Amino acid sequence: MKIFIDGEFVDKDEAKISVFDHGLLYGDGIFEGIRVYKKCVYRLEEHLERLWYSAKDIMLTIPLSVEEMAEAVCESCRINNIEDGYIRLLVTRGKGDLGLSPDTCPRASVIIIADTIRLYPEEHYRVGLSIVTVPTRRSGPAALNPAIKSLNYLNNILAKMEAAQQGALEAIMLNDQGYVAECTGDNIFVVHKGILYTPDVANGALRGITRGTVIDLAEAAGIKVKECNLTRHEIWNADECFLTGTAAELIPVVKLDGRVIGEGVPGTVTKQLHAVFHQEVSTRGVML
């Protein structure tokens, strides 16, 4: 495997960064997770747009143009023969000193890893997930804004650990007001009486690329979509529930906190959206 680091492709075992890189020392950097389907880098333009938004938020200068970054992503897939896989694109603040100030980092570092990934076992896509709510709250816009895909994921990792302690693969995280924000790495949707609901991004939910895709596909299919505040009450009493994410794609949830959701099996709307999602993923993006 070859890893792209600052303009060069190096062997996996030789891919190294400085111990003084502020991405390592302080989580000072940003990332994107991108999928490849049948040699199509899915929604690459949208992913790079979000990367640049995150960079602007933390005042990080990306040392490549958008066009150069897109080509580097595609070449990472070509050189590693990735036809169906996952890309992790990182931009760190770069090498500096032991102080917090980014002023000691003269140039950001770009790392691209093109590999494969499977977030959940295949059986859960057929029968659904049983998930829990955890004590760790999602960071709000007044702290580290969830809209920034930062390298600091300790908030999510703590929630993931709490889920594992309860025997669950995934967890719902609430915001500081007690509303549902998102899961540790996925957005959440519920279906109730034919309407699709999802937490508003202003309340701690990431503006997920797959989330946006599902909203577009639902509206195109004539399904009404509402972005609003949700509590666990709305999820417990929903007809259907599912999660979305670049790695997870679209996966049904059939139980939350011991309460069965709907009939306890993946619902009709969930299956419908899952099917149309997979119809478009190999056509909407940049072909290798």
Residues 49-68: b if buried by 16+ CB within 10 A, e if exposed: ebbbebbeebebebeeeeee
Q: Is 174 helix (H, G, I), strand (E, B) or coil?
A: strand
Distance, CA of 184 to CA of 138 (rounded, Å): 9
Q: How far lies 70's CA from each of 48, 65, 74, 219, in Å?
A: 8, 9, 6, 29
Say which of 149, 224, 226, 271 is annotated catalytic.
149
> Where is 228: in which H helix or E strand?
strand 225-228
| CA 229, chain centre distance (Å) | 20
Q: Is 149 known to be catalytic? A: yes
Burial class (CB in 10 A: 0-12, 13-18, 19+), 11: exposed
Q: Where are the beta strands (DSSP E) in 53-186?
A: 85-92, 109-115, 129-133, 171-174, 180-183
* Chain position carrying tokens 């029968």: 127
Beta carbons of 84 and 91 less than 8 angstroms apart: no
- The DSSP output letter for 103 is G
Which residues are known catalytic residues? Answer: 149
